[in-house]
Amino acid sequence: MRYCTVPGCSRPLTRHSRFRNHCEIHHSRQRRHGHPEQRGILVSDLTYYKKLVRSRIAKNKTSDLWTQLADRWRLLTDQCQARMDSWNSGKAQSTTEVRAAYELLKVGQHVELRPILETVLALYLLQDADPRRFRSDEAFLFQLVRRIRGLTHVNAGEYHDHISGKTKRVYRDLPPRVVRSIGHLLAHVFGLAGVYFAQLERKDEEADRKAKETYAQALVALH
């Protein structure tokens, strides 16, 4: 019997394909999160980083960046709409790209730009502050897509939990190739801003650390 190749896992391989190298659990994580060892990033994981993003935006209210990002997002959604129109007219299209366009349009139609921007930038800050939370670049893109899709309930289904008696919401997973396509599109629009935001936060943290060290040295020098 062959076993999962993830370090520390002793479960047998999934029976569905002889070409897979992971057990059912790690195969599911691979499809859902982009890496067999990746854990999902929760809304609560981004709370602190969203506060940093809002603070940075408030300091730069008059920046042209916000208009430019809005234009880039609008251009992307326009391109997605054009792809859907082409598909509906019967022209041959990549089914992966059509599904990616459809999913992005749903987000664009139901979510304002501001929460999208805050979520994307917060994820980039988290990645910079704690890169171990993301097992690979692809895992980061998968989390980016999951958190953006989670901003609207139109991507979720509901079921009744007979044990708790409550109705719970479950988000439907997309095929990995579609998630990958959406992730690259989002990174193309917001990625540079996300990286630069992370650099600014790191610079501010370094300046704050040096200020504290200088203050501590001044205290020690007292006699």
Q: How far is CA 209 from CA 45, 119, 141, 205, 213, in A?
A: 24, 27, 31, 6, 6
Model confidence pLDDT, tens digit, residues 47-78? 999 999 999 999 999 999 999 999 999 999 99
Q: Does the structure show a pLDDT above 90 at 156?
A: no
Count Cβ atoms within 10 A of the Cβ of residue 122 and give its class: 0-12 exposed, 13-18 middle, 19 or more buried: buried
Neighbours of 175 (CB within 10 A): 13
The domain ranges of the chain are 1-37, 39-195
Q: pTM value? A: 0.87
What mean pLDDT comes out for the span 107-124?
A: 96
What mean pLDDT comes out for the span 176-188?
A: 97
- 164 pLDDT band, cuts 50/70/90, is low
Longest CA–CA span in the chain (Å) reads 84
Least confident of 8-22, 63-77, 110-124: 8-22
